[in-house]
């Protein structure tokens, strides 16, 4: 049966821009966190800022919750539909609007794929630095909403450091401009909207900073017989004042999964851990820094060090790391990935504690992480066919996140809170912190229609872990 509001949306985006057949709606029932599913009522595919504004104004008029969606690669259930919601997907918003090399900036629609930004300007000697491992498929709009990171964010900063301005549609359909010009006095609203996980409306045009490509790049692969030694090498490199362009670590389970699937044939299967370190700059700088990194790794017990300078060789070393999540399918039918952050210096003890938790809960954990900034990605391996397995791995994931908070870290480095981690917000923030954040959301999203049920804990869905004090807050129980 046609949706009763479909004709209103069709009048804005045309018939082909409205999806209402159940078999087509199923495509949008989840994001990368496939354990949570909810089929939306309608999916709308606008093409322009004006169409997004008109669609959101209709949601406001008919009191329909809406969920923005980019490529659906999010790992925290951020674009998971809520019951009776309209999904607004940006798959028809893939134009590059303007390239301004003189001012090192590019303006794009939100559906543009992350990697397409670099592809558009690399011929002229520029690139876009934030590079999530999903960069071949994730959208700039999704990156903005999650404040995504990537291998190169250690040196160059995460998404928020590369957004110069945005056109934004607020949850009542108003179009506003954020940032865009030279330094502006007043509140940093661009900073507030980046990382808002779809709860403050939608980005429809984004101006990004471009960086000149480095003259030279080297990637070093060092392998270690203990995780502690690899962790000590990470601390040693940072303590020497070196900020690598990227510094990633993989443990033995991840190395073997990747070698089984991607067959890089350069990750030693018997290593307890490998470290991938990228350095960039001028030729002389890269030569000197690469030698310094190699010396530090050797001093910490690295068995072998491979160095790659040529682009194909460098890509070969990175390929396994970039495919690490996908390779987990080789080890187990399902995996649940966490995204905690810890102070770098606590790495060895936290990894040992994760191993203890893994044994206590009875589920293996493979570790892949952005070692340079302490952003862990423990991958909990399980089989969804086993009754109750998901609840058990979620409990293990929760214990890992609490461990991160206990050692002075965070429950998310880059994947966002979404639907997945909102129950842990009260482990990290006080009631007053959460209340303040909810007030900010209320200023821009007073009806609670934009991506309801995300980020903040709700007593009904978070059970005991939600603070009772939140129950009375406006918007605290929107699901
Ligand atoms: C294999 C794999 C590897 C990954 N590696 C990384 C990594 O290295 N670093 C990292 O940070 N993440 C990583 N991710 C997670 C994910 O790719 C990022 O969070 C990405 O930014 C999501 O983009 P998307 O287009 O898929 O967004 P979606 O999943 O569609 O949406 C994500 C959030 O953005 C909101 N949103 C989407 N478009 C807009 C818009 N135009 N305006 C406002 N809100 C919007 C949605 O409502 C949702 O809350 C990985 C995921 C996978 C599957």
pTM exceeds 0.95: no
First-to-last alpha carbon distance for the chain, in angstroms, is 25
Helix (H) or strand (E) holding 472: none
**Phi/psi at 353 (nearest 5 deg)?**
-65, -35
Q: Whose Cα sits closest to atom 42 in ligand 1?
A: 202
Pocket test for ligand 1, best of 90, 135, 142, 176 (most atoms within 8 A of CB): 142
Q: What angle do CA 23, 25, 29 make, to 5 degrees?
A: 115
CB 84 within 8 A of CB 41: yes
Measured distance CA(377)–CA(370) in Å, rounded:
8
Q: How many residues does the chain have?
A: 479
Residue with tokens 């994001």: 31
Give the pLDDT score at 185.
84
Rounded distance from Cα 305 to ligand 1 centre (Å) = 34
Measured distance CA(26)–CA(150) in Å, rounded:
30
Measured distance CA(189)–CA(195) in Å, rounded:
11
Measured distance CA(56)–CA(173) in Å, rounded:
5
Q: Whose Cα sits closest to atom 16 in ligand 1?
A: 74
Ligand 1 nearest-atom number relative to CA 168: 42
> How is residue 300 written in tokens?
């910490």
Measured distance CA(133)–CA(155) in Å, rounded:
16
From the list 227, 439, 478, the residue with the least C-alpha distance to 354 is 227
Q: In what order do the strands lie in the sheet with 66-69?
A: 18-19, 42-44, 86-89, 66-69
Rounded distance from Cα 73 to ligand 1 centre (Å) = 5
Give the pLDDT score at 49.
98
Ligand 1 nearest-atom number relative to CA 198: 44
Residue with tokens 């934004």: 168
Rounded distance from Cα 135 to ligand 1 centre (Å) = 10
Measured distance CA(469)–CA(455) in Å, rounded:
17
From the list 79, 75, 87, 76, the residue with the least C-alpha distance to 25 is 87
Pocket test for ligand 1, best of 34, 44, 45, 73 (most atoms within 8 A of CB): 73
List per-block mean pLDDT (blocks of 10 residues) for the chain, which spans 479 residues. 90 97 96 94 98 98 98 97 95 98 98 98 97 95 97 94 97 95 84 97 98 97 94 93 95 93 92 96 97 98 96 92 87 91 89 94 93 92 94 95 96 94 95 96 97 86 48 37
Rounded distance from Cα 378 to ligand 1 centre (Å) = 18
Give the pLDDT score at 313.
94
Measured distance CA(392)–CA(45) in Å, rounded:
37
Ligand 1 cavity residues, CB under 6 Å: 31-32, 67-75, 78-79, 90, 110, 132-134, 138-139, 141-143, 145-146, 148-150, 197-198, 202-203, 325-326, 414-415, 451
Residue with tokens 């959460």: 434
From the list 372, 335, 155, 344, the residue with the least C-alpha distance to 253 is 335
């Amino acid at each position: 049966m046609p949706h009763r509001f479909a004709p209103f949306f069709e009048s804005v985006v045309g018939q082909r821009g409205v999806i209402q057949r159940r078999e087509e709606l199923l495509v949008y029932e989840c994001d990368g966190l496939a354990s949570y599913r909810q089929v939306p009522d309608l999916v709308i595919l606008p093409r322009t800022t004006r169409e997004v504004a008109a669609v959101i104004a209709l949601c406001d008029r008919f009191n329909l919750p809406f969920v923005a969606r980019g490529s659906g690669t999010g790992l925290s259930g951020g674009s998971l539909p809520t019951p009776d919601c309209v999904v607004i997907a940006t798959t028809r918003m893939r134009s590059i609007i303007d390239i301004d090399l003189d001012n090192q900036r590019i303006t794009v629609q939100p559906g543009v794929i992350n990697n397409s930004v670099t592809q558009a300007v690399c011929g002229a000697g520029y690139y876009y630095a934030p590079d999530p491992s999903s960069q071949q498929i994730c959208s700039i709009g999704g990156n903005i909403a999650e404040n995504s990171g990537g291998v190169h964010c250690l040196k160059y900063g995460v998404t928020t450091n590369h957004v110069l301005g945005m056109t934004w549609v607020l949850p009542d359909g108003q179009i506003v401009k954020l940032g865009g010009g030279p330094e502006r006095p007043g509140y940093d609203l661009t900073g507030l909207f980046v990382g808002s996980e779809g709860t403050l409306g939608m980005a429809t045009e984004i101006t990004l900073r471009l960086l000149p490509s480095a003259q030279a790049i080297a990637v070093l692969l060092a392998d270690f017989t203990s995780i502690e030694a690899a962790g000590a090498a990470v601390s040693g490199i940072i303590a020497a004042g070196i900020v690598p362009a990227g510094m990633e670590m993989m443990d033995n389970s991840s190395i073997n999964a990747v070698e089984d699937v991607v067959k890089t044939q350069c990750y030693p299967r018997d290593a307890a851990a490998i470290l991938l370190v990228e350095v960039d700059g001028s030729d002389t700088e890269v030569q000197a820094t690469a030698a310094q990194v190699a010396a530090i790794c050797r001093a910490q017990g690295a068995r072998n060090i491979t160095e790659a300078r040529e682009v194909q060789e460098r890509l070969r070393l990175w390929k396994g790391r970039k495919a690490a999540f996908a390779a987990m399918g080789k080890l187990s039918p399902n995996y649940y990935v966490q995204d905690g952050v810890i102070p770098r210096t606590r790495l060895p003890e936290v990894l040992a504690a994760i191993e203890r938790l893994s044994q206590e809960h009875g589920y293996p954990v493979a570790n892949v992480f952005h070692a340079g900034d302490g952003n862990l990605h423990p991958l909990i391996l399980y089989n969804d066919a086993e009754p109750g397995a998901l609840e058990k791995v979620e409990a293990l994931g929760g214990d890992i996140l609490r461990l991160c908070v206990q050692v002075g870290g965070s429950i998310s480095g880059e994947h966002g809170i979404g639907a997945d981690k909102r129950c842990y917000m009260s482990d990290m923030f006080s009631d007053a912190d959460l209340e303040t954040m909810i007030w900010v959301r209320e200023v821009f999203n007073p009806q609670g229609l934009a991506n309801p049920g995300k980020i903040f804990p709700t007593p009904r869905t978070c059970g005991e872990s939600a603070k009772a004090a939140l129950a009375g807050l406006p918007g605290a129980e929107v699901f």
